[in-house]
Amino acid sequence: MGLYPMTRKVGNLIFVSGMGPREAGTDNIPGLQLDKHGNYISFDFEAQVHSVFKNVKTALEEAGSNWNKIVDVTIFLVNMKRDFHTFNKIYAQYFSEAQPCRTTVEVQSLPSAIAIEIKVIAEV
């Protein structure tokens, strides 16, 4: 989506750039189907959350860290009112043991038709 690294190591920390639910190497966004005009055919926010967590986990592992070493999470939602409760439910499943600091904000839009983006900091 732009010129920036997926991860960057500084000292004993790994910074993961904002990551969405898009499947690596494709334009496919789990939980989202659009018609040829870009109009929504179907939308599944839960599928996007699971996919974005999978992408973050993969990025951390490729950078030499792992899920349990996450110390800070920033979540960007395009519709807080609609999605916050669902996100919290799924978040609790993924972070039942490791409990990083967390910030959740609503944004007007993200760079594509995604409904969520996550940025994390983890220890190496």
Residue 22 has pLDDT above 60, yes or no: yes
User: The domain that contains 33 carries what CATH number?
Assistant: 3.30.1330.40
Question: pLDDT per residue over 80-118, tens digit each?
Answer: 999 999 999 999 999 998 899 999 999 999 988 899 999
**Residue range of the domain that includes 45:** 7-123
Answer yes or no: is 2 within a domain: no
Output the pLDDT for position 1: 56
Output the pLDDT for position 15: 98
Answer yes or no: is 87 within a domain: yes
Answer yes or no: is 31 within a domain: yes
Answer yes or no: is 11 within a domain: yes
Q: How many domains does the chain have?
A: 1
Burial category of 73 from C-beta neighbours within 10 Å (exposed 0-12, middle 13-18, buried 19 and up): buried
Q: b/e string for 92-118 if b means 16 or more Cβ within 10 A?
A: eebbeeeeeeeebeeeeebeeebbbbb
Output the pLDDT for position 69: 97
**pTM for the structure as a whole:** 0.92
Question: pLDDT per residue over 28-78, tens digit each?
Answer: 899 999 888 888 889 999 999 999 999 999 999 999 999 999 999 999 999
Answer yes or no: is 63 within a domain: yes
